[in-house]
């Protein structure tokens, strides 16, 4: 497989959110802190050229902010108990899909297409303290992954017209998973999933186009209660046991290396998020312990994106 190395962009995103599962988004005032143990998710739209950050506030509501146009925080409501997962898949119009773990332990879904939908339950039971991952390899296709209450990786997918049942992919997870498709790979319906194993290392499983691979260790050591993040060019972003950001270009098998510029605030005990932007940069998002929002484009100077109102 051929892959294009990208410039690593790091964004520290600490968001806060309000309200119950709502049908329409609205501008919101928030408490200034993310829910403990949760981190942000990012999605990049090729149709608009913009990127979006989602997170859960201390009351369990979901909000998002749009960069490239404004930084207004918008409430999507809900009662969430995990970090969110988000993806954008349409190249002709704005489409966003967001997934969370609800208070009932099930997977919940909300999407934007000419306006925000209501929340729908997709069932299942996610392990406490973990959230979902989502990937899309074509328009109308969604693959969602969770850690079940049995510690295994579970998979559910949208075909464009209907949701599948739940499929167990085995393994022994100790974090929320991360998932993506590889934009440079053949076949185009490839999927890569990454998790924190019981040994604290990152483990990988991928769909070859016809079957699932066995589990493969990528090494490293992730901080407890955190999972990996990955962009569509297979750049892994994790929080190490030293509570610093570490990267791994899986495509080039370069191994682990620390991000060059340390964030100005200490990282919270939560999983980061990552997405490949339309500019071919890898955007990573994390929450810090102070509730601040920061971003970085592989530059020594970290910039604050401000705090949600």
Tell me the pLDDT tens digit for each residue of 105-126. Answer: 999 999 999 999 999 999 999 9
From CA 252, how far away is CA 192, in angstroms rounded?
15
**Is 96 within 8 Å of 86 (Cβ atoms)?**
yes
Strands 107-112 and 153-158: unpaired
**What does the pLDDT average to over 208-230?**
96
Maximum average pLDDT range among 6-15, 161-170, 187-196: 161-170
Q: Is residue 85 part of a domain?
A: yes
Any domain includes 1 = no
Average pLDDT over residues 180-189: 87
> Which pairs count as long-range contacts for 305-308, CB under 8 Å and 24+ apart, including other chains?
305/11, 305/13, 305/65, 305/67, 305/71, 306/71, 307/14, 307/32, 308/15, 308/16, 308/17, 308/28, 308/30, 308/32, 308/63, 308/65, 308/73
Give the model's pLDDT for residue 218. 98
**Which pLDDT does position 249 carry in this prediction?**
94
Our count of domains for the chain comes to 1
In the predicted model, is pLDDT for residue 22 greater than 60? no
Structure token digits, residue 139: 């328009």
- What is the C-alpha to C-alpha distance for residues 165 and 220, in angstroms, rounded to an integer? 33
Q: Which domain holds residue 60?
A: 8-304
Establish if 86 belongs to a structural domain. yes
Q: Does a structural domain hold residue 152?
A: yes
What pLDDT does 303 receive? 58
Q: Do residues 86 and 97 make contact, with C-beta atoms less than 8 angstroms apart?
A: yes
CATH number of the domain where residue 241 is located = 2.120.10.70
pLDDT tens-digit profile of 145-162? 999 999 999 999 999 999
In a domain, 3, yes or no: no
Find the farthest-apart pair of alpha carbons in the chain and give their distance in angstroms, rounded.
47
For residue 70, is it within any domain? yes
The tokens describing 15, both together, are 């968001």
Predicted structure pTM score: 0.88
């Amino acid at each position: 497989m051929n892959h294009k190395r990208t410039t690593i962009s790091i964004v520290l995103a600490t968001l806060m959110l309000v309200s119950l599962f709502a049908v329409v988004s609205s501008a919101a005032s928030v408490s200034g802190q993310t829910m403990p143990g949760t981190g942000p998710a990012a999605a990049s739209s090729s149709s608009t050229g913009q990127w979006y950050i989602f997170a859960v506030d201390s009351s369990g509501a979901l909000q998002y902010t749009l960069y490239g146009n404004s930084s207004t925080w918008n409430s999507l409501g809900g009662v969430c108990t995990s970090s969110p997962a988000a993806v954008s898949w349409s190249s002709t119009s704005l489409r966003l899909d967001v997934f969370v773990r609800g208070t009932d332990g099930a997977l919940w879904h909300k999407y934007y297409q000419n306006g925000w939908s209501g929340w729908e339950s997709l069932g299942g039971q996610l392990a406490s303290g973990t959230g979902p991952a989502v990937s899309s390899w074509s328009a109308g296709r969604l693959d969602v992954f969770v850690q079940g209450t049995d510690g295994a990786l579970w998979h559910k997918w949208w075909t464009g017209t209907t949701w599948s049942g739940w499929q167990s992919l085995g393994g022994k997870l100790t974090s929320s998973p991360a998932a993506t498709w590889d934009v440079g790979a053949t076949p185009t319906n490839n999927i890569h999933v990454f998790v924190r194993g019981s040994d604290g290392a990152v483990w990988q499983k991928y769909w070859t186009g016809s079957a699932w691979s066995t589990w493969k260790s990528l090494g490293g050591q992730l901080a407890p209660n955190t999972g990996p993040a990955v962009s569509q060019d297979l750049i892994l972003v994790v929080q190490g046991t030293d509570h610093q950001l570490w990267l791994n270009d899986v495509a080039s098998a370069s191994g682990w290396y620390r991000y060059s510029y340390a964030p100005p605030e200490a990282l919270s005990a939560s999983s980061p998020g990552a997405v490949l932007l339309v500019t071919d940069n890898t955007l990573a998002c994390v929450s810090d312990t102070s509730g601040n929002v920061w971003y970085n484009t592989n530059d020594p100077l970290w910039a604050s994106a401000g705090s949600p109102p």
